[in-house]
């Protein structure tokens, strides 16, 4: 065994993430670091985790969320604040129900065959297995959340919060049941909120249909994109100011296909420029028409079953699917001569976000939250700055949305979720709305009651998440200490679904804002900038990348370049960069630990520490100051980049290399105390970003630390604080010159392809820096493979007649004799031969251009080309001659 191998054998040669990650996570859990101690003297830092859906596994977007929240959490924990990061899961209503329905379909079953109770049992088992998977994945990501406070939206506590909130809003008149046009997904067989519908432009048709007048001759023509809804028309409307139709107002027309008589009436809502200016009114299947019908007192005729087949109101078309009905009705209109014309027409059609089925707007009895009164204080909280949204430009988006907010349909025709706490009395028809399960009608006392079969929109429970997880409606210790929470960190895509509703419900239920800061992160995209999706096949599974690169490399890649609101690219190159960084730090620590083991007592050092020591301490102090302010400003990507640049670009590349020279020299003061101390501080600085690697390295390094500096775990060690006294501009200036000179010599070597075993002599000219640089001649020699390196006063006379390459730098000049790089004799020979070749060319061209015969016969373009060539050759000869003269 060589001496070196022996001294470093305590640390394996390479970093193996798989070997250390589980060990440390278990250690952190056992020590209970993630469970905060309530200390009334201190202000806590609190993040409630956006609960992942129980629809399967975590994807890379969750990994980004977990990484960012863990960075914040670990940073605040190291700052000594009682820190709570509360994890949880969302039952995810329709999304999870669809997943389990698909599993059932594979067994040839559907939920109706199982029945509500058995189906819910299946759902619960599914949710439980997801809960395990997701918790395990979060642990592998290093998420330092408090598992003792983990919550699930369907747990008893949050469920009671849901019922309490519902009953309170109902009693205040802010929840009502009413017939409204809702978005109906025929496949999922449920109502959807506006946010769950995606609008796509579809190339369809505009059909012009003649409605015959009931009396006398003539028609009124209406245009529609959905001719099957003719069956549900209850009027034709025109604008009261539209002169064309004035005589027809008050007349009746006969509905084609079903021969029902309907009135022609005037309504301000009609746009005279759309279609013919007369529009059909289908109140049960169109939100605008519904409002017209409310104003005009028109009846509602619902023509569809929940599965989007036509019902008995569709007369001869009953039983047909809506799209088959469209075909049949068009054929009949054509036959009867009532289809006036058909135009191609591009229009927006709502699709179910879950299953992409075309949404049917349909009038239906549903539960709604009257949102306007809730939106007002939620708007005020943002305007007053009590809640800050990062990045700031989302504030405007939020405020615009709050202004146009519409009532929120909260009932869903699903089984999986919080069942609506309303019971209908079969005897007196009254409703009982209750937090506890009702046993009897609140009005007549009859036990003949039945609970509403529907469940609440899954976002209803999500809207209560910050306070329901902390114990609301009880006045718990957690609620009073940890609420309002500090940061809500989530994707910008759910600002309305979730963030806005949490603010509304938080203020409504508790009288206080739910969080002080909303941090919105971007989406994770692939190398080409495309959104990751299963359909595109570009999804990076976080677990696969963990196996391949290690958790810290994944976290590093996810936080590289991240800034609030901006999308990030996750690429193999970034993952590799993360892994390389981990290896670099591993090797550096291993070197330091190994060197410390066989350190000989250092000779009495000079009174003043060497300049490079003051330099690295100054650079560290600047980095700590800058990182601290970036972290406070939520600029985690930039903070990480600066730590990376310091550790790799300054500490490893320069200080460590210079330290190696000192370690080899018996005379110099040992750099080990500085190596150990800078590395130890840097590990603490980096810990929130790369928790596993830093914990492992910190323990390896701790043997080199004075005993009072050793600790149990880096995760509870204090975060570095900026040390103003260490900032030393003078040492930074000198070291910047050493680095610049070394880089320049290295570049010159590379440009002139100097063989690696060859040493170049170099003269450095300096003025002010002459004295401080002089002791670094040997350092530059070693780092740049230059010998001898000599320092000279800039005003000194330079050697004459020597062919020298001079590079002028910021404070210095570097001079390298050409002779040292190139074989002058061979180079002269090469240049002379080249000149001879060019001259032969020149002679030929000159002869040609002097030939009268050629000049008179050749086309002008050819002659011009020859002249251009001649000029180019002359130019080339000049340059070659110059080079030759330089060689002397």
Contact (CB, 8 A) for 812 and 745: no
Buried b (16+ CB within 10 A) or exposed e, 381-414: bbeeeebebbbeebbeebeeebeebebbbbbbbb
Sign of the torsion angle spanned by Cα atoms 719, 722, 726, 730:
positive
| Sheet-wide strand order for 812-817 | 786-793, 760-766, 812-817, 804-808
Q: Which is nearer to Zn ion, 185 or 683 (CB)?
A: 185
- Assign 754 to helix, strand or coil: coil
Q: How far is the CB of 119 from Zn ion (least distance, A)?
A: 18
Interatomic CA distance for residues 727 and 238, integer angstroms = 78
Contact (CB, 8 A) for 411 and 456: yes
Tell me if the bond preceding 473 is cis, omega within 30° of 0. yes
Q: Which is nearer to Zn ion, 444 or 870 (CB)?
A: 444
Q: Which is nearer to Zn ion, 354 or 419 (CB)?
A: 354
Contact (CB, 8 A) for 504 and 374: yes
Beta carbons within 8 Å of 231's beta carbon, 6+ residues apart: 255, 257, 258, 301, 303, 310, 313, 314, 315, 317, 325, 329
Q: Which is nearer to Zn ion, 438 or 741 (CB)?
A: 438
Interatomic CA distance for residues 447 and 127, integer angstroms = 34
Q: Give the C-alpha distances (Å, rounded to integers) separating 247 from 235, 240, 298, 556.
A: 16, 11, 21, 74
Interatomic CA distance for residues 680 and 675, integer angstroms = 8
Interatomic CA distance for residues 194 and 409, integer angstroms = 8
Q: How far is the CB of 438 from Zn ion (least distance, A)?
A: 11
Interatomic CA distance for residues 627 and 722, integer angstroms = 9
Buried b (16+ CB within 10 A) or exposed e, 269-305: ebebeebbbbbbbbbbbbebbbebbeebebebbbbbb
Contact (CB, 8 A) for 76 and 45: yes
Gyration radius of the chain over CA positions: 39
Dihedral pair phi/psi, residue 643, rounded to 5°: -65, -45
Contact (CB, 8 A) for 239 and 277: yes
What is the end-to-end Cα distance of the chain in Å, rounded?
54
Which tokens go with 680?
Answer: 């130890």
User: Percentage helix, strand, coil, to 5, in the chain?
Assistant: 50, 20, 30
Interatomic CA distance for residues 198 and 193, integer angstroms = 11
Q: What is the DSSP letter of 496?
A: I
Q: Which is nearer to Zn ion, 189 or 836 (CB)?
A: 189
Q: Which is nearer to Zn ion, 305 or 357 (CB)?
A: 357
* Block residue for tokens 């989406």: 523
Reference 89, options 49, 144, 143, 29; nearest CA is: 49
* Block residue for tokens 């109770």: 117
Contact (CB, 8 A) for 412 and 94: yes
Q: How far is the CB of 490 from Zn ion (least distance, A)?
A: 24
Interatomic CA distance for residues 439 and 720, integer angstroms = 61
Contact (CB, 8 A) for 800 and 829: no
Reference 505, options 452, 447, 466; nearest CA is: 466
Interatomic CA distance for residues 152 and 554, integer angstroms = 27
Q: How far is the CB of 235 from Zn ion (least distance, A)?
A: 31
The DSSP secondary structure of 263-280, one letter per residue, reads: EEEE-TT--TTSTTSEEE
Interatomic CA distance for residues 556 and 67, integer angstroms = 9
Tell me if the bond preceding 484 is cis, omega within 30° of 0. yes
Chain centroid to Cα 370, Å, comes to 32
- Kindly list the residues in this chain that would bind Zn ion in the complex (CB under 5 A): 185, 187-188, 352, 354-355, 357, 425, 427-428, 430, 441, 443-444, 446
Buried b (16+ CB within 10 A) or exposed e, 803-830: eebebebebbbbbbebebbeeeeebeee
Q: What is the DSSP letter of 725?
A: G
């Amino acid at each position: 065994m060589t001496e070196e191998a022996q001294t470093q054998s305590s640390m394996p040669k390479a970093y193996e993430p798989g070997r250390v990650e589980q060990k440390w996570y278990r250690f952190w859990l056992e020590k209970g670091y993630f469970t905060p101690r309530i200390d009334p003297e201190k202000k806590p830092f609190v993040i409630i985790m956006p609960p992942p859906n129980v629809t399967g596994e975590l994807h890379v977007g969750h990994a980004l969320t977990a990484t960012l929240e863990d960075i914040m959490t670990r940073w605040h924990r190291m700052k000594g604040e009682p820190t709570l990061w509360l994890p949880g899961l969302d039952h995810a209503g329709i999304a999870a129900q669809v997943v389990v329905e698909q599993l059932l379909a594979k067994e040839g079953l559907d939920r109706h065959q199982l029945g509500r109770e058995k189906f819910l049992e299946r759902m619960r088992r599914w949710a439980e297995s997801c809960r395990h998977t997701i918790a395990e994945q979060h642990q592998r990501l290093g998420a330092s959340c408090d598992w003792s406070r983990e919550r699930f939206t369907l747990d008893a506590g949050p469920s009671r919060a849901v019922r309490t909130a519902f009953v309170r809003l109902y009693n205040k008149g802010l929840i009502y049941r009413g017939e409204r046009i809702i978005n109906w997904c025929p496949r999922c067989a449920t109502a959807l909120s506006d946010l769950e519908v995606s609008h796509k432009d579809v190339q369809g048709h505009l059909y012009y249909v003649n409605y015959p007048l009931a009396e006398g001759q003539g028609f009124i023509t209406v245009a529609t994109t959905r001719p099957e809804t003719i069956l549900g028309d209850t009027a034709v409307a025109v604008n009261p100011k539209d002169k064309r139709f004035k005589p027809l107002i008050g007349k009746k027309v006969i509905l084609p296909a079903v021969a029902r008589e309907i009135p022609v009436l005037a309504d301000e809502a009609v746009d005279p420029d759309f279609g013919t200016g007369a529009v059909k009114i289908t109140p049960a299947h169109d939100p605008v028409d519904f409002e017209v019908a409310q104003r005009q007192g028109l009846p509602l005729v619902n023509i569809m079953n929940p599965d989007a087949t036509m019902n008995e109101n569709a007369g001869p078309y009953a039983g047909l699917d809506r799209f088959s009905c469209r075909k049949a009705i068009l054929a009949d209109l054509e036959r009867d001569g009532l289809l006036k014309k058909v135009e191609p027409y591009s229009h927006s059609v709502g699709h179910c976000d879950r299953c992409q089925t075309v949404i049917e707007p349909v009038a239906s009895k549903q539960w709604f939250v009257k949102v306007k009164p809730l939106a007002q204080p939620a708007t005020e909280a943002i305007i007053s700055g009590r809640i800050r949204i990062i990045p700031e430009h989302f504030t405007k988006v939020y405020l615009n949305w709050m202004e146009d907010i519409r009532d929120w349909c909260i009932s869903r025709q699903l089984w999986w979720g919080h069942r609506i706490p309303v019971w209908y009395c079969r005897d007196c028809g009254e409703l009982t709305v209750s937090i506890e399960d009702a046993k009897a009608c609140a009005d007549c006392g009859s036990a003949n009651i039945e609970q509403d079969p529907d469940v609440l929109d899954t976002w209803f429970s999500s809207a209560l998440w910050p306070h329901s997880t902390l114990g609301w409606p009880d006045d718990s210790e957690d609620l009073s200490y940890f609420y309002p929470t500090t940061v809500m960190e989530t994707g910008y895509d759910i600002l309305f679904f979730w963030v806005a509703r949490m603010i509304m419900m938080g203020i409504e239920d508790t009288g206080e804002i739910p969080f002080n800061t909303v941090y919105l992160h971007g989406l994770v995209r692939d190398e080409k900038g495309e959104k990751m999706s299963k359909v595109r096949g570009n999804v990076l599974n976080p677990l696969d990348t963990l196996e391949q690169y290690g958790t810290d490399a994944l976290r590093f890649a996810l936080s590289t370049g991240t800034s609030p609101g901006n999308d990030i690219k996750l690429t193999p190159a970034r993952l590799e960069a993360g892994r390389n960084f981990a290896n670099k730090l591993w090797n550096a620590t291993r070197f330091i630990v190994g060197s410390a083991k066989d350190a000989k007592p250092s000779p009495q050092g000079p009174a003043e520490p060497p300049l490079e020591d003051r330099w690295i301490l100054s650079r560290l102090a600047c980095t700590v100051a800058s990182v601290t302010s970036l972290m406070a400003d939520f600029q985690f990507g930039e903070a990480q980049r600066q730590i990376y640049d310091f550790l790799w670009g300054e500490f490893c590349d320069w200080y460590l290399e210079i330290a190696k020279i000192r370690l080899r020299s018996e005379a110099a003061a040992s750099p080990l105390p500085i190596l150990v101390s800078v590395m130890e501080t840097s590990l603490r600085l980096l810990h929130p970003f790369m928790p596993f690697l830093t914990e492992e390295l910190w323990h390896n390094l701790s043997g080199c630390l004075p005993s009072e500096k050793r600790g149990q775990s880096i995760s509870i060690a204090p975060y570095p604080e900026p040390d103003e006294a260490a900032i030393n501009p003078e040492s930074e200036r000198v070291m910047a010159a050493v680095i610049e000179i070394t880089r320049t010599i290295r570049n010159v070597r590379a440009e002139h392809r100097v063989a690696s075993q060859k040493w170049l002599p170099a003269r450095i000219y300096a003025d002010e820096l002459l004295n401080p640089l002089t002791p670094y001649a040997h350092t530059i020699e070693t780092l740049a493979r230059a010998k001898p390196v000599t320092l000279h006063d800039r005003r000194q006379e330079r050697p004459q007649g020597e062919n020298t390459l001079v590079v002028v730098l910021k404070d210095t000049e570097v001079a390298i004799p050409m002779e040292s790089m190139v074989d002058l004799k061979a180079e002269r020979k090469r240049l002379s031969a080249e000149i001879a070749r060019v001259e032969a060319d020149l002679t030929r061209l000159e002869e040609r251009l002097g030939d009268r015969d050629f000049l008179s016969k050749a086309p002008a373009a050819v002659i011009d080309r020859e002249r251009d060539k001649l000029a180019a050759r002359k130019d080339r000869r000049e340059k070659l001659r110059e080079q030759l003269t330089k060689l002397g």
